[in-house]
């Protein structure tokens, strides 16, 4: 029975580390844009300031929680690749995760005029979906880049399994957050339509 192969191409693994860092940084930027779009949505009128503040806070809270998911993925990579440094002459990969809270921009107070159009809110639903799609795509790309490394052995298998599990959980968390934020926006759209019907 042939022995299991154990090999590593340090250059391949280090290239993965560089790519992974870029993907994690891109996710952080998507989270920042998610918060910014939530606060700067083109929507004014009664309750608009409160809505923008709470919507932005929901996005920021997700960003803080999601950074923990990214931290677990990064730690799984670091632990698994430490075997390279110890046994195969390469070095472990460390991915930096920015876990700082995403700042909530000041909510524009408006000039006192009332504008009840829901077009901005409808646009925001699409923007939110776009940000979450980009986040999930980056997670998938990260996992694929790990799988594609020129690295064979139990440590590689363990890394792929662990990162795959954490990636699935992170994507589930993202889906739940997207649904919650989108529901909050859609509820506000419905409230505006209801108010308009009452005035009619």
- pLDDT truncated to tens, each residue of the chain (200 aa)? 345 677 888 888 889 999 999 999 999 999 999 999 999 998 887 788 999 999 999 999 999 999 999 999 999 999 888 877 666 666 778 999 999 999 999 987 766 666 667 899 999 999 999 999 999 999 999 999 999 999 888 888 999 999 999 999 999 999 999 999 999 999 999 988 776 664 54
**What burial letters (b/e) apply to 7-36, b meaning 16+ CB within 10 Å?**
ebeeeebbebbebbbebbebbbebbbbbbb
Residues near 161 by beta carbon (within 8 Å), at least 6 away in sequence? none
71 lies in some domain: yes
3 lies in some domain: no
149 lies in some domain: yes
137 lies in some domain: yes
- What is the tally of structural domains in the chain? 1
With beta carbons less than 8 A apart as the criterion, state whether 43 and 121 touch. Answer: yes
106 lies in some domain: no
Structural domain boundaries, residue 137: 30-92+116-199
**What burial letters (b/e) apply to 150-170, b meaning 16+ CB within 10 Å?**
ebebebbeebbebbeebbeeb
195 lies in some domain: yes
178 lies in some domain: yes
CA 57 to chain CA centroid, Å, is: 15
14 lies in some domain: no
């Amino acid at each position: 029975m042939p022995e299991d192969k154990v090999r590593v191409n340090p250059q391949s693994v280090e290239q993965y580390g560089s790519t992974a860092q870029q993907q994690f940084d891109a996710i952080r930027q998507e989270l920042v844009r998610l918060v910014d779009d939530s606060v700067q949505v083109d929507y004014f009128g009664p309750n608009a300031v409160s809505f923008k503040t709470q919507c932005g806070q929901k996005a920021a809270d997700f960003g803080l929680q999601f950074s923990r998911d990214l931290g677990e993925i990064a730690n799984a990579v670091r632990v698994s690749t430490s075997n390279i440094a110890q046994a195969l002459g390469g070095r472990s990969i460390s991915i930096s995760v920015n876990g700082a809270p995403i700042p909530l921009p000041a909510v524009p107070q408006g000039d006192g005029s009332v504008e009840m159009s829901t077009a901005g809110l409808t646009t925001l639903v699409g923007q939110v979906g776009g940000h979450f799609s980009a986040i999930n795509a980056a997670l998938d790309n990260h996992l694929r880049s790990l799988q594609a490394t020129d690295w064979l052995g139990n440590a590689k298998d363990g890394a792929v399994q662990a990162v795959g599990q954490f990636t699935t959980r992170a994507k589930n968390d993202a889906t739940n957050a997207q649904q919650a934020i989108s529901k909050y926006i859609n509820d506000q759209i419905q409230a505006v339509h209801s108010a308009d019907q009452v005035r009619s």
